[in-house]
């Protein structure tokens, strides 16, 4: 399964196989001592971003890698002999792993995968991935503006949780204000919340220093 996923994810350092394995390892950590099907957690984590390249390569921005990934996962899992019930559960984990969506995780396995993926957006790793994303999408290193105005202009339906319409108008600061700083209240597991609190201190300090340096204050 790892080899199958690796072939699909050679496109962006922010969402490559290294990212998948960090999510996989975190998901296993969050699942420890929980009453879950660990195989579903592992397979869901491995497959959660398998359609990421299709989304990035869609100039119209209509592709949802979570929905597309669930479709891609089915024949892969079926070929490997997994039962239909388990395949559907893994598909549900993939569909519900996104933050900017109305598809919410229902099972504990899906919630663990959601949390493990969201922890990648905060802390030192969150900073690193944010700027890789900037380079990949031609976005701004620094851009800050009124969030309500920005949501109206560049997020679908003018919703703070809406999908980004034009990625070149985005920035790590805007992502922080519209998404990452709110992650804590959307996490499901106690373990993930504890980890997120520590990581958010790091990213908060970083953005404060970045803004001061950009403005020439320091």
pLDDT in tens, 26-45: 999 999 999 999 999 999 99
Q: CA 46 from chain center: how many Å? A: 13
Q: Is the pLDDT of residue 12 over 80?
A: no
Checking if the pLDDT of 60 tops 80, the result is no
The rounded distance, in Å, linking the Cα atoms of 113 and 41 is 7
Instruction: Give per-residue pLDDT as tens, 159-175.
Output: 988 889 999 999 999 99
**pLDDT computed for residue 11 by the predictor:** 66
Q: Which residue has the higher pLDDT, 63 or 107?
A: 107
Q: What is the pTM of this model?
A: 0.92
Higher pLDDT, 10 or 68: 68
d(CA 127, CA 204): 10
Which CATH number belongs to the domain containing residue 131 in this structure? 1.10.3210.50
Q: Is 212 exposed, middle or buried (0-12, 13-18, 19+ CB in 10 A)?
A: exposed
Sole residue written with tokens 């959601």: 114
Does position 8 have pLDDT exceeding 90, yes or no?
A: no
Whether residue 25 has pLDDT greater than 70: yes
**Residue 59 pLDDT greater than 80, yes or no:** no
How many domains, in total, are found in the chain? 1
Looking at residue 54, what is its pLDDT? 85
Range of the domain at 67: 2-214
Q: Given this model, what pLDDT does residue 23 score? A: 98
DSSP letters, 56-122, are: HT-TT----HHHHHHHHHHHHHHHTT--HHHHHHHHHHHHT--SSSS----SHHHHHHHHHHHGGGS
Which pLDDT tens digit goes with each residue over 124-133?
Answer: 999 999 999 9
| Residues 6 or more apart in contact with residue 211 via CB below 8 angstroms | 142, 144, 173
Average pLDDT in the chain: 93
Q: Which residues contact 140 (CB under 8 A, 6 or more apart)?
A: 134, 168, 169, 170, 171
pLDDT at 90 over 70: yes
Distance, in Å, from the CA atom of 73 to the CA atom of 125, rounded to the nearest integer, reads: 27
- Alpha-carbon distance values, 180 to 13, 69, 174 (Å): 19, 23, 9
Contact between residue 37 and residue 116 where contact means Cβ atoms under 8 Å apart: no
């Amino acid at each position: 399964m790892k080899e199958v996923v690796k072939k699909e994810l050679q496109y962006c350092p922010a969402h490559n196989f290294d990212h998948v394995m960090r999510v996989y390892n975190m998901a296993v950590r969050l699942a420890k001592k929980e009453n879950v099907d660990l195989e579903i957690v592992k397979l869901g984590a491995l497959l959660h971003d398998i359609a990421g390249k299709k989304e990035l390569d869609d100039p119209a921005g209509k592709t949802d890698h979570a929905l597309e990934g669930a479709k891609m996962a089915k024949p892969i899992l079926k070929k490997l002999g997994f039962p239909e019930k388990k395949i559907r559960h893994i598909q549900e984990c993939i569909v519900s792993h996104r933050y900017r969506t109305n598809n919410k995780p229902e099972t504990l396995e899906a919630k663990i995968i959601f949390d493990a993926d969201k922890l990648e957006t905060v802390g030192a790793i969150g900073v690193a991935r944010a700027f890789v994303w900037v380079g990949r999408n031609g976005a701004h290193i620094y851009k800050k503006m009124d969030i309500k105005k920005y949501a109206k202009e560049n997020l679908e339906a003018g919703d703070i949780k809406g999908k980004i319409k034009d990625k070149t108008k985005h920035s790590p600061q805007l992502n922080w204000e519209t998404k990452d700083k709110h992650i804590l209240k959307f996490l499901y597991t106690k373990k993930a919340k504890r980890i997120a609190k520590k990581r958010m201190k790091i990213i908060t300090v970083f953005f404060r220093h970045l803004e001061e340096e950009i403005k020439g204050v320091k």
